[in-house]
Chains A and B, each alone.
Chain A
Amino acid sequence: DAMVIQNPRYQVTQFGKPVTLSCSQTLNHNVMYWYQQKSSQAPKLLFHYYDKDFNNEADTPDNFQSRRPNTSFCFLDIRSPGLGDAAMYLCATSRDIEETQYFGPGTRLLVL
């Protein structure tokens, strides 16, 4: 089945130690998104890629970066995780802008 895959499902890192979260898709969608969802809050868009074009949200901290080496994969890099970055990170894809977004299962990040 076509789907959005996130690895790992759970990630533990240390304060200040760089961490990378992975997202892959078999849908061949043009757009990939990263959302941050803190406990009991709504998902918040960090950035998205339309093909190779990167679109950062104005309030996304510089600590968060992203890479999309090809259509199928997109990575979220947190350069120096703080305790406040502990959250669920959701990847989503859509065939094009203005089309429905499909979400992966998420990666729960714990920062010690």
Chain B
Amino acid sequence: AQSVTQLGSHVSVSEGALVLLRCNYSSSVPPYLFWYVQYPNQGLQLLLKYTTGATLVKGINGFEAEFKKSETSFHLTKPSAHMSDAAEYFCAVSDTRGNNRLAFGKGNQVVVIP
């Protein structure tokens, strides 16, 4: 079964600094990988996804992530943090063998310091 590890439940970053959220996955088959963002009392919004092809994926709000098979990683980055980036971020992996069951990591709560 697939699983996701996100370390550090709370991440503090200064406004204008690099945002880096780490995601490592375990999957027995080639994975589909996702990053979702959740603002307080709201649902999940898709930031970006990797299925096949180019390993560097660009998403909304200036975020991007790179799939590294050798490291089983899919880290999320943004060059310059904005106050509006304060939210919870979830990495998820999907079993590509047809059941589309998403396994989520525990999430990173991002705090942006002015």
Contacts and interface: CB of A to CB of B under 8 A. Distances in A.
A103 B94 contact: no
Contact of A100 (B41, B46, B105, B106): B46
Count class of interface residues, chain A:
20 to 34
Contacts of A100: 34, 46, 49
A82 interface: no
A101 B102 contact: yes
A45 B46 contact: no
B44 interface: yes
Contact of B100 (A40, A44, A101, A105): A101
Contacts of A4: 43
A41 B44 CA distance: 13
A105 B43 contact: yes
Nearest to A9: B41
Count class of interface residues, chain B:
20 to 34
Interface in B82-114: 90, 94, 96, 98-102, 104-107
B10 to A, nearest CB: 10
Interface string A94-110: 10011111111110100
B63 interface: no
B28 interface: no
Interface string A1-23: 00010100100000000000000
B45 interface: yes
22 contacts: A4-B43, A6-B43, A9-B41, A40-B9, A41-B107, A42-B105, A42-B107, A43-B102, A43-B104, A45-B101, A45-B102, A55-B99, A98-B94, A98-B96, A98-B98, A99-B100, A100-B46, A101-B46, A102-B46, A103-B44, A106-B43, A108-B41
Interface of A: 4, 6, 9, 31, 40-45, 48, 55, 90, 92, 94, 97-106, 108
